[in-house]
């Protein structure tokens, strides 16, 4: 009878102990780090003096002292120094092995699509095992721990179903972040004499670390993904292109960029609505995704532009793929739109340029030229930047449009780029040089809306005056070219001054007076083929009486060629419309030239010019 009472008392005591132990109790442990039973609360509870749950060192059954302060410090170092999750898990396992004499550590992360826990187990000997435990296996302690968010102890590891693994006890802890269980940690232990609060604190911290890592990965992915097309957005595209250009440079290979632009997208949006425009862009993106190679990358480069990065691809190979994509699009009909038509431009590294921004600019320029050329036999004109002449009017206008649109983003100025290209061009013939100079002068005249075709007209008048005084043909051609470029220095004058409709202030006029020197020094001097034009460009604003600029030259010190251009320049200015007055008649302009003869202009040259002026076209 006494014996029965003793056993009964033992059983009652045992039940009380079980109910008070947070590991073995069936009552779920609150794990939300933002509730009253939070991580902060656990930290405050580390020093609670209760059996097997205190901060100061204790001995395990093997006689080894576990210093939890040292354990926590080493875990902190693991988090700081690990480069990836695999390395972190390895280091955590090593720390548990060393500090707590554990036989293994397993990390189980929940996979939502597969509805399972993916386990990765690390042993003391450096072996690793992987397994899956389905959420439907409700009797498995791992699933119970995950679902109930409650620590569980096991006397063996049969539930892991990993063959050839040494059998031992196991301590299973839920990893909880913001009240969401994202997985479990399993600690292989022969005994369970451990600081439970600290281990729960650690698992919750690891859970938040993993949760944040996942959120960061998602954020990075979404940050680089276009929501409409699910292609890379502009930022993601630029990052990939930068990496691929670096690879191409290291491997000495080609890389092509193909840019596609939906034709008439503005009209589609305006007449059929933006939803229809989005449908067309999505179709283009889908066809691009279906037809590019695994090594290629595509992105939404602009509103309706899709760009493709093609590593290890020449221009001809890129054209072949582009032709196939445009063919596929021509076979697709969108309601109320018909077949999707695109313009296609291609640029290739390093053939076209080695600079990333210029590679994109050239592809975009080629795309605009493709747009200008339209369709032939129902197919897009696929244009490469190596197919066209830079100084062609369409090419130059496209280049100017792109740089004007993107100058603030990329910091490349159209005028500076124009001069750079001009001075690096290989001159093939006199005609080629005249063609380039005409395009350059036209682009500069376009900066000032009141001087349209000014340079071309001054060149024509100068040529006529040079012939009227019987100069040799070679000198006539030089003057003709120099007159064409006489205002090239305006490339360095701010547009706010060039386009000002009112009279310039003194400080603004001083800036304007710099353009002859800028033209001579910045544009002509670097180009050996144009250096003999420097006197014309630099001195065409000098006056006979020494009141001109930039060097106040007088009389015979002013080169004849510059004097000729000065007369022609003044005449065209007089007969041209200005914001503050209408253009003068030929007679009135000639009267003013007469009045300035001998002081501003050479008297003989004025006399000859007046005699030919009526025969010159007065169209402005």
Q: Are residues 437 and 512 in the same domain?
A: yes
**Residue 221 pLDDT greater than 90, yes or no:** no
Q: What are phi and psi of 485, to 5 degrees?
A: -105, 15
- ∠ at Cα 439 (367, 582), nearest 5°? 115
Q: Are residues 94 and 32 in the same domain?
A: yes
74-117 residue pLDDT tens: 888 888 888 788 888 888 888 888 888 888 999 999 988 889 99
177-208 residue pLDDT tens: 988 999 999 998 877 677 788 888 888 888 88
341-371 residue pLDDT tens: 888 999 999 998 898 988 998 899 899 888 8
User: What confidence score (pLDDT) does residue 577 get?
Assistant: 76
Residue 65's H or E segment, with its range, is strand 65-66
Q: Are residues 206 and 247 in the same domain?
A: no
Query: Of 106, 111, 153, nearest to 129 (Cα)?
Result: 106
Q: Are residues 162 and 201 in the same domain?
A: yes
Q: In angstroms, what is the C-alpha Rg of the chain? A: 40
User: Cα–Cα distance between 366 and 352 in angstroms, integer?
Assistant: 12
Query: Of 258, 237, 245, 253, nearest to 346 (Cα)?
Result: 258
- The DSSP secondary-structure symbol of 511 reads H
Q: Which residue has the tokens 């059983």?
A: 11
Which of residues 410, 440, 465 is at a domain's end?
Answer: 410
CB atoms within 10 A of CB 528: 10
Q: Are residues 264 and 341 in the same domain?
A: yes
Q: Are residues 213 and 242 in the same domain?
A: no
Which of residues 410, 444, 471 is at a domain's end?
Answer: 410
Cβ(150)–Cβ(29) under 8 Å?
yes
Q: Are residues 492 and 548 in the same domain?
A: yes
For residue 53, what are its two tokens?
Answer: 């749950």
User: Cα–Cα distance between 116 and 108 in angstroms, integer?
Assistant: 9
User: Cα–Cα distance between 528 and 593 in angstroms, integer?
Assistant: 35
User: What confidence score (pLDDT) does residue 493 get?
Assistant: 80
Handedness of CA 313, 317, 321, 322 (dihedral sign): positive
In a domain, 212, yes or no: yes
Range of the domain at 596: 413-620
Query: How far, in Å, are 296, 324, 326 from residue 290 at the CA level?
Result: 11, 11, 13
For residue 15, what are its two tokens?
Answer: 């039940």
In a domain, 389, yes or no: yes
Percent of the residues in the chain that have a pLDDT greater than 70, as a whole number: 82
- Say which CATH number the domain at 165 has: 3.30.450.40
User: Cα–Cα distance between 50 and 196 in angstroms, integer?
Assistant: 11
In a domain, 19, yes or no: no
Whats the size of the chain, residue-wise? Answer: 620
Q: How confident is the model at residue 325 (pLDDT cuts 50, 70, 90)?
A: confident
117-169 residue pLDDT tens: 999 999 888 888 888 999 999 999 999 999 999 999 998 888 888 776 778 88
User: Cα–Cα distance between 458 and 609 in angstroms, integer?
Assistant: 12
In a domain, 3, yes or no: no
Q: Are residues 479 and 392 in the same domain?
A: no
User: What confidence score (pLDDT) does residue 438 get?
Assistant: 79
284-314 residue pLDDT tens: 899 899 889 889 999 998 778 899 999 999 9
Burial class (CB in 10 A: 0-12, 13-18, 19+), 352: buried
Which of residues 388, 410, 432 is at a domain's end?
Answer: 410
User: Cα–Cα distance between 444 and 254 in angstroms, integer?
Assistant: 35
- Say which CATH number the domain at 302 has: 3.30.70.270
Q: Are residues 340 and 452 in the same domain?
A: no
CB atoms within 10 A of CB 151: 25
23-77 residue pLDDT tens: 333 334 333 333 334 444 444 454 443 334 333 344 444 445 667 778 778 888 8
Question: Quick check: pTM over 0.75?
Answer: no
Q: Are residues 314 and 380 in the same domain?
A: yes
Query: Of 268, 113, 68, nearest to 76 (Cα)?
Result: 68
DSSP string, 302-365: SSSEEEEEEET--HHHHHHHHHHHHHHHHT-EETTTEE--EEEEEEEETTT-S-HHHHHHHHHH
Bridge-based pairing state of the strands 65-66 and 58-59: antiparallel
- Say which CATH number the domain at 517 has: 1.10.3210.10
Q: What does pLDDT average to over the chain?
A: 81
* C-alpha neighbours within 13 Å on the C-beta side of residue 459: 21
Cβ(256)–Cβ(347) under 8 Å?
yes
Q: Are residues 273 and 380 in the same domain?
A: yes
In a domain, 193, yes or no: yes
Q: Which residue has the tokens 């994202």?
A: 182
Query: Number of folded domains in the chain?
Result: 3
In a domain, 236, yes or no: yes
Cβ(309)–Cβ(244) under 8 Å?
yes
Query: Of 359, 357, 386, 387, nearest to 373 (Cα)?
Result: 387
Dihedral class, residue 101 (left if φ above 0, else alpha if ψ from -120 to 50, else beta) = left
Q: Are residues 274 and 354 in the same domain?
A: yes
In a domain, 168, yes or no: yes
Long-range contacts of 536-542 (CB under 8 A, 24+ apart): 536/478, 536/479, 536/482, 536/483, 536/485, 536/486, 536/561, 536/562, 536/565, 537/482, 537/485, 537/486, 537/488, 537/489, 538/562, 540/486, 540/516, 540/565, 540/566, 540/569, 541/513, 541/516, 541/566, 542/566
In a domain, 81, yes or no: yes
Query: How far, in Å, are 94, 120, 542, 569 from residue 551 at the CA level?
Result: 81, 82, 7, 19
User: What confidence score (pLDDT) does residue 7 get?
Assistant: 43
């Amino acid at each position: 009878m006494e014996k029965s009472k003793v056993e009964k008392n033992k059983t009652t005591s045992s039940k009380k102990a079980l109910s008070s132990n947070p590991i073995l109790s069936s009552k779920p442990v609150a794990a939300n780090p933002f509730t009253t039973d939070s991580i902060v609360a656990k930290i405050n509870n580390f020093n609670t003096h209760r059996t097997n749950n205190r901060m100061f060192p204790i001995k395990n059954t093997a006689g080894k002292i576990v210093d939890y302060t040292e354990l926590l410090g080493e875990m902190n170092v693991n988090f700081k120094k690990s480069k990836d999750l695999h390395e972190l898990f390895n280091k955590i396992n090593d720390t548990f092995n060393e500090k707590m004499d554990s036989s293994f550590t397993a990390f189980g992360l929940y996979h939502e699509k597969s509805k399972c826990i993916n386990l990765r187990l690390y042993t003391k000997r450096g072996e690793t095992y992987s397994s899956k435990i389905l959420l439907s296996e409700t009797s498995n302690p791992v699933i119970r721990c995950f679902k109930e968010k409650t620590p569980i102890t096991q006397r063996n590891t049969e539930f892991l179903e990993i063959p050839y693994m040494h059998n031992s006890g196991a301590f299973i802890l839920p990893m909880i972040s913001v009240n969401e269980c994202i997985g479990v940690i399993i600690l292989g232990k022969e005994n369970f004499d451990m600081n439970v609060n600290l281990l729960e604190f650690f698992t919750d911290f690891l859970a938040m670390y993993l949760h944040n890592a996942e959120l960061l990965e998602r954020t990075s992915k979404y940050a680089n993904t276009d929501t409409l097309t699910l292609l890379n957005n502009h930022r993601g595209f630029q990052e990939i292109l930068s990496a691929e250009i670096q690879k191409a440079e290291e491997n000495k290979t080609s890389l092509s960029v193909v840019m596609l632009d939906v034709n008439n997208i503005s009209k589609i949006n305006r007449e059929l609505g933006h939803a229809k425009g989005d449908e067309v862009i999505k179709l283009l993106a889908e066809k691009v995704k279906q037809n590019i190679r695994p090594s290629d990358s595509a992105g939404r480069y602009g509103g309706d532009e899709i760009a493709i990065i093609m590593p290890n691809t020449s221009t001809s190979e890129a054209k072949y793929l582009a032709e196939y994509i445009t063919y596929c699009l021509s076979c697709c009909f969108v309601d109320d739109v018909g077949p999707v038509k695109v313009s296609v431009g291609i640029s290739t590294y390093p053939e076209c340029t080695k600079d990333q921004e210029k590679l994109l600019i050239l592809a975009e320029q080629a795309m605009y030229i493709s747009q200008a050329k339209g369709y032939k036999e129902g197919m897009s004109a696929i244009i490469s930047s190596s197919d066209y002449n830079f100084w062609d009017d369409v090419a130059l206008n496209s280049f100017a449009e792109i740089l004007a649109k993107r100058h603030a983003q990329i910091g490349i100025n159209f005028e500076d780029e124009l001069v750079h290209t001009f001075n690096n061009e290989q001159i093939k013939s006199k005609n080629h040089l005249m063609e380039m100079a005409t395009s350059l002068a036209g682009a500069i005249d376009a900066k000032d809306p009141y001087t349209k075709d000014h340079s071309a007209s001054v060149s024509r008048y100068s040529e006529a005056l040079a012939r009227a005084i019987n100069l040799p043909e070679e000198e006539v051609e030089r003057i003709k070219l120099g007159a064409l470029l006489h205002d090239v220095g305006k490339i360095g004058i701010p547009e706010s001054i060039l386009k000002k409709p009112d009279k310039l202030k003194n400080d603004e006029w001083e800036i304007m007076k710099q353009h002859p020197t800028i033209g001579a020094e910045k544009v002509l001097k670097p180009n050996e083929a144009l250096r003999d034009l420097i006197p014309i460009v630099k001195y065409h604003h000098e006056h006979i009486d020494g009141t001109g600029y930039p060097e106040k030259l007088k009389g015979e010190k002013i080169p004849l060629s510059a004097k000729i251009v000065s007369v022609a320049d003044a005449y065209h200015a007089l007969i041209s419309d200005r914001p503050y007055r209408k253009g003068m008649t030929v007679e009135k302009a000639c009267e003013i030239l007469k009045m300035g003869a001998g002081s501003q202009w050479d008297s003989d040259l004025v006399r000859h010019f007046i005699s030919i002026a009526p025969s010159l076209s007065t169209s402005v």
